[in-house]
Amino acid sequence: MTKIEEMLAVYFIAGTQDIVQGNLFSVLEEALQAGITCFQYREKGAGSLTEPSEIEETARKCQELCRAYKVPFLINDEVELALKIGADGVHVGQSDQAIEEVLRLFDGKIVGLSCETAAHVEKANQLPGISYYGIGPVFGTVSKADAVQPIGVEKLADYARLAQKPVVAIGGISLENGQEVLATGVQGVSVISAITRAESIEEAVEGLKKRK
């Protein structure tokens, strides 16, 4: 297994807007202790921070925590911020900064790209610098107001077979459907509320891992 494949196993995404109890740092540290394999800082949506200095300060604190646990730290979409603080990588969507430009800026670092259709995957396959694809949304999700229609597990399996890079499934993934998603052949699952709203973060992380 490559380092990227291992990194995608339990891929936690969160920003301050996702936290219902405690704060982002306490939730992130608990998730790191429980064994998440990657963290993506995503400050977007209702209730999120808007002041650039606050966002940077929050990103830096999350980065310090991830470094302490030797877990990759990525930033969603904020390419300039990721470069400024030396994040391990960045994740961008189809409508964010052009992927070719992002690859040039992040040469030698982790670059993830969201793919929602077979055409997206086929186009991404032509760009060798991409590290992994985030494919979905598999199910309906409340974390994105502009989320596209869910693709379901059958299409996820089709797109994962088409992909020439490791795949992490995204969108509406929970403890209840996580194993069904992992059975499609993806390398891992990315989650927000499955961890931020969990009664036990330790049990949630354990439950999201691919069963041997």
The domain limits of the chain are: 3-208
Q: Where are the beta strands (DSSP E) in 125-179?
A: 132-135, 167-169
- Asked if 38 and 8 count as a contact pair (C-beta separation under 8 A), the reply is yes
In the annotation, is 42 catalytic? yes
| Residue of 114, 131, 143, 190 marked active site | 114
Alpha helices (H) along the chain: 3-7, 24-34, 52-68, 79-85, 99-105, 118-124, 152-162, 178-182, 193-196, 201-208
Give me the CATH code for the 3-208 domain, please: 3.20.20.70
In the annotation, is 209 catalytic? no
- Tokens linked to 47: 């209730």
The whole-number pLDDT of residue 212 equals 64
In the annotation, is 200 catalytic? no
| Residue of 44, 144, 197, 210 marked active site | 144
**Residues linked to residue 167 through DSSP beta bridges, in sequence order:** 133
What are the angstrom distances between the C-alpha of 112 and each of 22, 119, 212?
29, 16, 26
- Asked if 170 and 137 count as a contact pair (C-beta separation under 8 A), the reply is yes
Using DSSP, how many helices (H) and how many strands (E) does the chain show?
10, 8
What is d(CA 148, CA 151) in angstroms, rounded to the nearest whole number? 9
pTM of the predicted protein model: 0.95
What is d(CA 192, CA 196) in angstroms, rounded to the nearest whole number? 6
Rounded (5°) CA angle 110-113-114: 145
Tens-digit pLDDT profile for the chain (212 aa)? 679 999 999 999 999 999 999 999 999 999 999 999 999 999 999 999 999 999 999 999 999 999 999 999 999 999 999 999 999 999 999 987 789 999 999 999 999 999 999 999 999 999 999 999 999 999 987 655 555 789 999 999 999 999 999 999 999 999 999 999 999 999 999 999 999 999 999 999 999 998 76
The whole-number pLDDT of residue 148 equals 74
